[in-house]
A and B are shown apart, each in its own frame.
Chain A
């Protein structure tokens, strides 16, 4: 079954970092780009960035540049999103999704709740 399975919920202190994983059960992982999208409480969807593993390239949205690192491990078909210097307004559900650039997101992970609290 084609699916994206994310790591579990996290509670972090302000100023720390969090790393969320997303394992893909898809054929030819490297053919696709995988994006990270978040939704803060009461807010809309916000694209953070994407990884194109076949090109070894990650694109990060301007708002997150310098704080977000997106990587991929083709051997395990897993993509990772690490967010540093966490603030309370980073509290959100983080989704991985297949797609990015001009293409649609046709497959979503189940979401990972990251809570930033002192």
Chain B
């Protein structure tokens, strides 16, 4: 059971928009800690997609965006492309556990 809750799967047609939620609590996202997002393809290294809740590293397309509200965060992917099919993980810090916490991961399928 992950401290941060993500839907197991999300799907969308090419060109459409997909949103992945990450629900936490008052000891992590709700405490004001940043949320970070990673894209992970099987057999590869996780790739930082969003850091500091809303910031994109250099090279990440602006089709990817992050947001946060209260105890939840979201990753939005617009203009879905086949190459976006991957597992996505949210990450934050929990001060009651004094630990880094991940969501359980969401598999994004482009139909």
A residues neighboring B (CB under 8 Å): 35, 37, 44-47, 50, 59, 61-62, 95, 97, 100-106, 108-111
Interface majority SS (helix, strand, loop, mixed), chain B: strand
Count of CB-CB pairs between chains A and B under 8 Å: 60
The smallest beta-carbon distance between B101 and chain A, in angstroms, is 7
Expressed in whole angstroms, the minimum distance between the Cβ of B9 and any Cβ of chain A is 13
Task: Knowing A102-B33, A105-B48 are in contact, say whether A61-B102 is a contact too (CB < 8 A).
Answer: no
B residues at A contact (CB < 8 Å): 2, 33-34, 36, 38, 40, 45-46, 48, 51-52, 57, 87, 89, 91-93, 97-105
Chain A residues with CB under 8 Å of B93's CB are: 101-102
Nearest chain B residue, comparing its CB with the CB of A108: B45
Once bound together, how far apart are the Cα atoms of A106 and B47, in whole Å?
A: 8
Chain B residue at minimum C-beta to C-beta distance from A63: B99
Query: Which residues in A have their C-beta under 8 angstroms from that of B104?
Result: 44
A95 contacts B46, C-beta separation under 8 Å: yes
Contact A45/B89 with A62-B99, A104-B36 known, Cβ cut-off 8 Å: yes
